Amino acid sequence: MAVLHNRVSNKELKELLYQENFHRTTLSFYQYFFIEDAAAFRDAMYKALYELQVFGRIYVASEGINAQISVPTHYLEAFKNYVYNINGLSGLRLNIAVDDDGKSFWVLKIKVRDKIVADGIDDPGFSMQNKGRYVNATEMNHLLQNPDTVVIDMRNHYEFEVGHFNGAIEIPSDTFREQLPMAAAMMQPHKDKNIIMYCTGGIRCEKASAYMLHKGFKNVFHLEGGVINYARQVKQEGIDSKFIGKNFVFDDRLGERITDDIIARCHQCGQPADTHTNCKNDGCHLLFIQCDACANKYNGCCSQQCTDVYALPLEEQKKLRAGIDKGQMIFNKAKARLRPRLDELNGLKDTAD
């Protein structure tokens, strides 16, 4: 019988992943549907996916499931059969990764949460049953040509920076729960227009579309399957991509190339770049954008200080970070930390974000 949690270190698991002699398929899926006993659902799913050697991150809640995983390609049909036989998941859309080397995950983690997307909604009248209308890639492109269309990006700043739809509006917040009321407030002047919401794989914009309808908006759409599904349809149907740049993804790849456009800049030197990385100093792990030249200069670190620490023997590094609370090393902090350097290099005045 399979254990219900991992007992091997991440380092060992990652080494084992790169020793595999078969290919993996990275995919994501979600579904809003009622789960009566989320804990029991989680345990049953863990046992089944463990047997299929599935890796990835799955969240289960009473409102549904949200998953980003990699499946051994030779087990892909068996995986589909298992999922489609779960009550509520029959015919589920699976978003297959566009730019995939199969090395996205190296361990299986399934967690029970209060919600599959933390939204901050406490209104008992809110329901996911009333949501916006789906649009596919062709419909999305058609609506984008309409001057009465407003496109809202429901992703975080670090996702928007490396890639987005032409003309999309960024909701300037770092959490989805803050974005929802902000989006409703920002769209009040456009209440009679077509409002299209999009995100990475569809889960956030689907809930956002339901929230907008709940707040009285009428012509609300959301991109079915998000950017991942849009990019696949664009490729399959040979139509123009109105999404430019990279699609940030929440696994070890940190991004899928959608078009050749590089719309972001290195946070250290200001040159065009859109490769996200985590600072190699284990006492930092800041997420930021770094070009190849700066990666070489700073040895994969975010600053000279971290480069110097990273060069120390491991035991000395451990002593330095002992007892240090790193907090949340997320993108907005990286941006604030590296912005003065960017301004200096670009000859700009330092302005507060």
User: How many whole angstroms separate alpha carbon 193 and alpha carbon 147?
Assistant: 9
Q: Is 152 found in the same domain as 108?
A: no
Q: Can you give the pLDDT at residue 318?
A: 84
Could you give the number of structural domains in the chain? 3
CATH number of the domain where residue 98 is located: 3.30.70.100
Paired strand residues for 170 = 153
User: How many whole angstroms separate alpha carbon 309 and alpha carbon 34?
Assistant: 49
pLDDT along the chain (353 residues), means of 10: 58 69 90 94 95 94 93 95 94 81 83 90 87 94 93 91 94 88 93 92 91 93 92 92 90 83 95 94 91 96 92 87 55 44 40 32
Give a yes or no: residue 123 inside a domain. no
Give a yes or no: residue 117 inside a domain. no
Give a yes or no: residue 258 inside a domain. no
Give a yes or no: residue 122 inside a domain. no
Phi, psi of 223 (to 5 degrees): -75, 115
Q: Can you give the pLDDT at residue 348?
A: 38
Q: Is 141 found in the same domain as 216?
A: yes
The residues, ordered by sequence, that sit 6+ positions from 185 with a Cβ below 8 Å of its Cβ are: none
Catalytically annotated residues: 199
Q: Is 63 found in the same domain as 32?
A: yes
User: How many whole angstroms separate alpha carbon 34 and alpha carbon 233?
Assistant: 29
Q: Are 56 and 96 in contact (CB under 8 A)?
A: no
CA distances from 268 to 74, 115, 237, 262, 340 (A): 42, 37, 39, 16, 10
Residue in this structure with the two tokens 């949460």, named with its chain if needed: 113
Q: Is 143 found in the same domain as 227?
A: yes
Q: Can you give the pLDDT at residue 339?
A: 46
Q: Is 233 found in the same domain as 145?
A: yes
Q: Is 146 found in the same domain as 89?
A: no
Give a yes or no: residue 307 inside a domain. yes
Give a yes or no: residue 174 inside a domain. yes
Q: Is 148 found in the same domain as 231?
A: yes
Range of the domain at 301: 264-346
Asked whether the CA dihedral 157, 292, 104, 286 is positive or negative, the reply is negative
Q: Is 137 found in the same domain as 229?
A: yes
Give a yes or no: residue 314 inside a domain. yes
Q: Is 140 found in the same domain as 73?
A: no
CATH number of the domain where residue 173 is located: 3.40.250.10
CA distances from 65 to 11, 128, 135, 274 (A): 28, 14, 22, 30
Q: Is 91 found in the same domain as 142?
A: no
